Amino acid sequence: MWIELSRGKTAVLRPTAGRARVAFQGELGAYSQGAVYAFFGKVDVVPLPTLQRVFASLSEPPGGQVDFAVVPIENSVAGSVGETFDLLFSSDVRIVGETSIPVRHCLMIHRDAGPEGITKVMSHPQGLAQCREYLDAHHRGWEQVPAYDTAGSAKMIRDRAMKDTAAIASELACEIYGMTLLARGVEDDHSNATRFVVIARADAPGETAPTGDDKTSVIFTTSHAAGSLVRALGCLSSRGISLARVESRPIRGRSWEYSFYVDFYGHMKDKKCAEGLEELGRDTLQLKVLGSYPRAV
């Protein structure tokens, strides 16, 4: 049995027996974990090292699988997460929700260290890049050390007792790893935010019902004929359906061929959306409807 869990404008399906288990990419304390809590509230989280492992976790055999996964799809500063688009195209999953969280970088050190002894700062390369102005203004002499993960840099400093190194990560990571917080909001662009989508197995029971303020995501491929993309998008725009996003991605193993990821406003059960999708299916080589879900962004 599955029930609908509503949080603000969002609504998702979750198991009635026990708390949902939700996978995300990264170490405990990653921004993706914050996105899980923003969407579901407190649930059992399953951190995994790669996005590929996160997608695969949805299809593991009974007893080991997760109920949902939360994956990043775009950042307001860095742009699209190409690997997520590719895995949505190749995996047997559907989108059941979305959320967006601000990226608020924090500067932290080992709990037994003092700021006067710091000579290095560690984070994911994007974390370092997003705090470059702050570091240049306040800590120009520190060596910048790239790490595999923002939260992972805090974990590494704790585990290895690196008292000469600071980390740039989330405040959640600071709490989890018992670090000393030196500064909040050290990102250069305070509008920095990441949008995440919530995915489930394609055959998971239940689906979100229309709310009147929904978004639908699809992926399709077209022929190489002139105007094929325009005609495909016209299946939606001609019915007054507003497009929220159009993204092209190269198709793996097929040089110079592309798939197109499209978000549009409306639910697949709405009459005009259903008709548009039916026509889109006829006018494209391949169409994958990823799902309809309450709009949050």
What are the phi and psi torsion angles at 254 (to 5°)? -135, 90
Number of residues in the chain: 297
Alpha-helix residue ranges (DSSP H) falling in the chain: 31-40, 51-57, 82-90, 125-129, 132-138, 150-159, 171-176, 228-237, 271-283
Active site residue 180: no
Selecting among 24, 40, 85, 196, the annotated active-site residue is: 196
Selecting among 10, 99, 194, 222, the annotated active-site residue is: 194
DSSP 83-108: HHHHHHHHSSEEEEEEEEEE---EEE
Q: Is 4 helix (H, G, I), strand (E, B) or coil?
A: strand
What does the block give as tokens for 219?
Answer: 């992926």
Asked whether the beta carbons of 20 and 44 are under 8 A apart, the reply is yes
- State how far the Cα of 44 lies from the Cα of 69, in Å rounded to an integer: 11
Active site residue 196: yes
Q: How many CB atoms are located within 10 Å of the residue 141 CB?
A: 7
What contacts 274, CB < 8 A, 6 or more positions away?
A: 268
- State how far the Cα of 113 lies from the Cα of 2, in Å rounded to an integer: 48
Asked whether the beta carbons of 125 and 100 are under 8 A apart, the reply is no
What are the phi and psi torsion angles at 279 (to 5°)? -65, -40
Q: Which candidate, 219, 213, 273, places its Cα nearest to that of 246?
A: 219
DSSP 273-291: HHHHHHHHHHHSSEEEEEE
What does the block give as tokens for 286?
Answer: 């391949």
Active-site residues, by number, are 194, 196
